[in-house]
Amino acid sequence: MPPPPDLSGRHVVLGVTGSIAAYKAASLVRRLKKAGAEVQVLMTPDAERFVTPLTLGTLSEQEVLTDIFPENEEGSWTKHVTLGQWADLFVIAPATAQTVAKLAHGFCDSMLTATALSARCPLLVCPAMDRDMYQHPATQDNLDRLRKIGYEVMPAAHGELASGLVGQGRMPEPGDILQRVADLMAETKASGKAQDMPLAGHTVLVTAGPTREPIDPARVLTNPSTGTMGYAVAAAAAERGASVTLVTGPTSLSPPSNVEVAAVQTAEEMNDAVQARRADADYVFMAAAVADYTPADPSGSKRKKTDEDLVLPLRRTPDILKTLGAHKRTGQVLVGFALETDDALEHARHKLEEKNLDWIVVNDPTEDGAGFGSSTNRVTLLRADGASEDLPRMPKAEVAEILLDRVQAAREKNSA
């Protein structure tokens, strides 16, 4: 028996639907895991009649999802979107005639179908049904429709069926599905399809995290930024094929893979790093929380507690964003971030105009689930032409994806 393919680090969503062949999903999950893949199983309610979520959850080491709004899940109402972005491949095995019809016509009534509509990855359909159902013109039309959409469809296998008939309609064997999964993964990696790598050939500059302005060798002025938003933008841009440079203040986050990192401490250092790289960037995302002021005369030794009241003279730090706006080249896209607590949109629009930005992302840290230290955010996207879009609270990784979608679409429209 040949060794299993190497799927280390790859993400597979496995959809299981209400066919007697659903019991074979357990073998498929086991094979995918043995090959090194991370597997998230989605089940339709009818699939639970044939195999239990406990079985597939135990084998996949992930809680099986069925409902479109799963309980006990962060960002549950957008979980289908998150999974659609996470997956490298979506496999539906077995795929019943009902599910094939729903996929062919864009139905969205379960976690499985909602995730299929959200997925950006290849989708592999493995039909399983009785012979006459499979041969019916409606089913064949639906399978042809899926192929035209761009889905991969494995032909049903020939053999004895649950009804006692013999013919084509059996779910392909788990070993054959695994091999097709491996082939699709290899094809996707080798081809670098434009729709999967829409930023290939582009350079992206992102800033993230706080700055630390020294008062003395032991103390600094800083803020609670964790860098999560900027790191999410950098990771999303790299996933889309961009050459990404992340200029980051001090954080506890691990840098995203395939990203060049320039670590800085102060606003002055961040300004130097950004200005040295700005000319080559096609997109600039200024997500860092840069200090507006720094001690005018930092002490070379630790200040002692000699006075009840300490007066600390401050001076302005460089306005990095304003300098970028003043030197923005034709075709370059400049995106700023604004954290405001009062009259947020008014102040953000003023900043957008004053600093010659193309976009600004504004949020209010006093709102629940927004701002510093949170894994979620609730932002408004403002565009230079006056357009705006309110995004509900969602994980920062999803905010980053939507922001890139909007910015890319606008740039392509303007350059058309």
d(CA 221, CA 294): 7
Residue 66, Cβ density class (10 Å: 0-12 exposed, 13-18 middle, ≥19 buried)? middle
Cα angle 234-241-397, degrees, rounded to a multiple of 5: 35
Q: Which of 210, 320, 205, 332 is nearest to 261 (CA)?
A: 205
The three-class DSSP label of residue 220 is strand
With H, G, I as helix, E, B as strand and everything else as coil, classify residue 34: helix
Q: Report d(CA 400, CA 392) in Å as an integer.
A: 13
- CA gap 190, 207 in Å, rounded: 31
- As a whole number of angstroms, the distance between CA 169 and CA 178 comes to 19
Sorted by sequence, the CB contacts under 8 Å of residue 250 that are 6+ apart come out as 209, 210, 212, 263, 265
Phi, psi of 315 (to 5 degrees): -130, 155
Residue tagged active-site, from 223, 258, 356, 377: 223
Q: How far apart are CA 53 and CA 352, in angstroms?
A: 50
Annotation says 223 is catalytic: yes
Please name the residue ranges forming H helices in 263-384: 267-277, 320-326, 344-354
Q: How far apart are CA 185 and CA 124, in angstroms?
A: 11
Q: Phi, psi (5° rounding) for residue 301?
A: -135, 160
Instruction: Please return the burial class of 330, using the count of CB atoms within 10 Å of its CB with bins 0-12, 13-18 and 19+.
Output: exposed
Helix (H) or strand (E) holding 381: strand 379-383
CB atoms within 10 A of CB 411: 17
Residues annotated as catalytic (active site), given as ranges: 223
